[in-house]
A and B are shown apart, each in its own frame.
Chain A
Amino acid sequence: MSARILRGIPVSTGIAIGQAYFLNRCHFAGITRQTVDEADVPVELNRLTEAFESACQDLERILGLVPADLHEHAAIIELHLMILRDPKFRKRSQDHVCSTRINAEWGLERAVGDVEEIFAAMSDEYLRQRGQDIRVVAERVLTKLVGRQAGLRAITQRAILLANDLTPADTIELEINKIMAFATAQGGKTSHAGILARSLQIPAVVGVEGLGDDLSDGQVIILDGFHGRIILDPNEDELARYTDLQTQLEAYQATIMRSCQLPAETIDGYRFEVLANIELFEEVVAVNDNGGEGVGLYRSEYSYLTRTQMPTEEELTETYLDMAALVAPKKLVIRTLDVGADKLMRSQTTREANPALGLRAVRYCLKHRDVFRTQLRAILKASVLGNVSIMFPMVSGLQELVEIKKFYRTVQAELHAEGVCFREDMPMGIMVELPSAVITADLLAQEVDFFSIGTNDLIQYSLGIDRTNKDVSYLYQPLHPAILRSIKWVIDAGHKAGIEVCLCGELAADPFCIPILMGMQVDAISLGPHAIPGIKRIIRQASMAECTALLKQVMASQSVARNNKLVRELIFRRFPEELLFYSSLLDEDIN
């Protein structure tokens, strides 16, 4: 019998072989999912009933204490009581316990999940909100359940952690040294869990479909952080193969780490700047450890997304000053707020039919000038320290850029008038990620100090596909002639105007794509810190002559398939280790 393989998104490379441990937490902090013996099912059912009853009694008692003039209050408690007494809700919890033989807590949690899903699908805003009541009520029952329990089972040995989702708070509670790897059901390529895993340097896979109920604690699994696979009940063959891969990987990593602090210079003397994409302070250590020569993309959204209120100018200034000081003397490129589309702000409540084409990034900022001003002032104030640059995302054309610059000058003038110090000649650049910006790159280049090509968005907007949509993701083709021509045109336009061009999408971290980018003579690349050593190694072993030759071939080619074949041949011939240890954006096509 072949092993069952679960697939997800690889977010941190590496291989782990070990026992699975389900961090039994969906939404409530600290609930454990435990499989129980057939004989214990009635015990769990009984616990559930008692907890429901006890929670009902509490609410009834509380209801009796509500003063007569607080009708509203009483109404809410009555509503909660009705939910607690709802026969269907109880039955759902019980059914889950019986059918999957799980503990009462998890049965309850799953019932809550079911009901929440129903509510979340409602079109009426008011009713959708009522979904929250279910959770509030369930918390009461849960408290009763947990109160009766001896204590949550702790992880007793090193394990592969499986969870619905992991937040930074979760990981603080966990004993990191006991975790070999983790996988989550939620999350995407850019989720916090991935950043966390990479900074802990443990393999991780997120967005795993089917991660859940049929896995039991203690079961041996293989987690492949290169290809985003989880192999359940691996056979001897697979165990042998992956153990072997692990050994090779360790040797390979030792090799690339030894040379990662050396400059990214080809054997024929052509030098590239290798920068890092980061979001958090914690990642700066990884930038330095992995040979990053600066920060080419500091995503500034974190300060906005982690709270319900807009950050103040003081908070932002402090954050940016700290970051500038931490990264100094290396370069720090701060990208202004790129919110919207996939990172919807909580305080931004209007729903858009088409967020990717809607009010995001600089468009949002130009519409909400107060938000924009606050951030610009903070960045300008921070420019006095270290080596800071400012970069605007999603610029669609010259007119918009002129508008941004005009406002930027106004804010500078305001600071001047207030007598606040800032660096007047702080480099100012834009992300080139919309097809319209690509086509007008020659015009835009006249107005800025540098370009940074954001390939993730550029590919999606140029090819008109949403990569997370499974039906069209096969069209995500980084080596599509349109993409290659776009990138080359932008680099050339930048150079013609005498400005530097950086590339900061996932393409920069892809071993299969890097030789082409080198051939195009991109000045700098910016990528996740942990991908730097491997990419630097390729650059250091490659020659500009072979990259130029490859570029010539792919630019002349008319098909994506042929391009993929060409780059694969080069990597296979020159860098065979990379084939083993990297997942490539081109994988889908190659396999």
Chain B
Amino acid sequence: MGEEQELRIRVRNNLGLHARPAGKIANEAQRFASSVVLTTEEAEADAKSILDVLTLAAPLGTEVCIRAQGPDADQAVQALAQLFINKFGEDK
């Protein structure tokens, strides 16, 4: 099955995981062969599905766990974490 990677991170952009960040997450996640799941206290979402990510409805400050499983799990987690850290290019 390949390796499993996990990382906890907080939503840092003011508007939270609205449509555009969700789109960026899904786009990025689709580049990897690994499965990627985002989990909050309340819900779980397939990172490759924009609709799923949107349903997390995660506002600023929410803790999100990025978990990937597969051949490129490590890169996938790092790439997604980078998006969170960069606030999805918002709030400059």
Contact = CB atoms under 8 A, between A and B. Distances in A.
A82 B51 CA distance: 9
Q: When A and B form their complex, which 10 residue pairs have the shortest distance between CB atoms, in order from nearest?
A: A88-B49, A82-B50, A82-B23, A122-B57, A86-B49, A127-B57, A118-B55, A86-B51, A79-B19, A124-B57
B20 interface: yes
> Binding site of A, secondary structure by majority: helix, strand, loop or mixed?
helix
Contacts of B5: none
A87 interface: yes
30 contacts: A75-B20, A78-B23, A79-B23, A79-B50, A82-B26, A82-B27, A82-B50, A83-B51, A86-B49, A86-B50, A86-B52, A87-B46, A87-B49, A88-B46, A88-B49, A88-B52, A118-B51, A119-B55, A122-B55, A122-B57, A123-B57, A124-B57, A124-B59, A126-B18, A127-B18, A127-B57, A130-B18, A130-B19, A133-B19, A134-B51
Interface string A72-95: 000100110011001111000000
Interface string B1-45: 000000000000001101110010011000000000000000000
Interface in B32-77: 46, 48-52, 54-55, 57, 59
Interface of A: 75, 78-79, 82-83, 86-89, 115, 118-119, 122-124, 126-127, 130, 133-134
A122 B54 CA distance: 10
Interface of B: 15-16, 18-20, 23, 26-27, 46, 48-52, 54-55, 57, 59
Contacts of A88: 46, 49, 51-52
A119 to B, nearest CB: 7
Contacts of A122: 55, 57
Contacts of A127: 18, 54, 57
Contacts of B48: 87
A118 B54 CA distance: 10
Contacts of B49: 86-89
Interface of B (DSSP majority class): helix
B27 to A, nearest CB: 7
A83 B26 CA distance: 10
A130 B23 contact: no
A392 B53 CA distance: 50
A80 to B, nearest CB: 10
Contacts of A115: 51
A79 to B, nearest CB: 5
A79 B19 CA distance: 7
Which residue, of A78, A88, A118, has the highest number of chain B Cβ atoms within 10 A?
A: A88
A115 B26 CA distance: 17
Contact of A79 (B15, B20, B57): B20
A78 B52 CA distance: 17
Contacts of B23: 78-79, 82
A243 B50 CA distance: 54
B26 A86 contact: yes
A238 B51 CA distance: 47
A126 B46 CA distance: 21
Contacts of B18: 126-127, 130
Nearest to A88: B49
Contacts of A89: 49, 51
Contacts of A79: 19-20, 23, 50
Nearest to B17: A127
A18 to B, nearest CB: 40
Give the interface centre of B15, B54, B55, B59 by most chain A CB atoms within 10 Å. B54
Contacts of A123: 57
Contacts of B16: 124
Nearest to A111: B51
A130 B54 contact: yes
A75 B27 CA distance: 14
A232 to B, nearest CB: 34
B49 to A, nearest CB: 4
B2 to A, nearest CB: 20
A284 B37 CA distance: 61
Nearest to B15: A126
Nearest to B45: A88
Given A87-B48, A122-B55, 14 more contacts: A75-B20, A79-B23, A79-B50, A82-B23, A82-B50, A88-B46, A89-B49, A118-B51, A119-B54, A119-B55, A122-B57, A123-B57, A130-B18, A130-B54
Nearest to A81: B23
Nearest to B46: A88
Nearest to B43: A118
B44 to A, nearest CB: 12
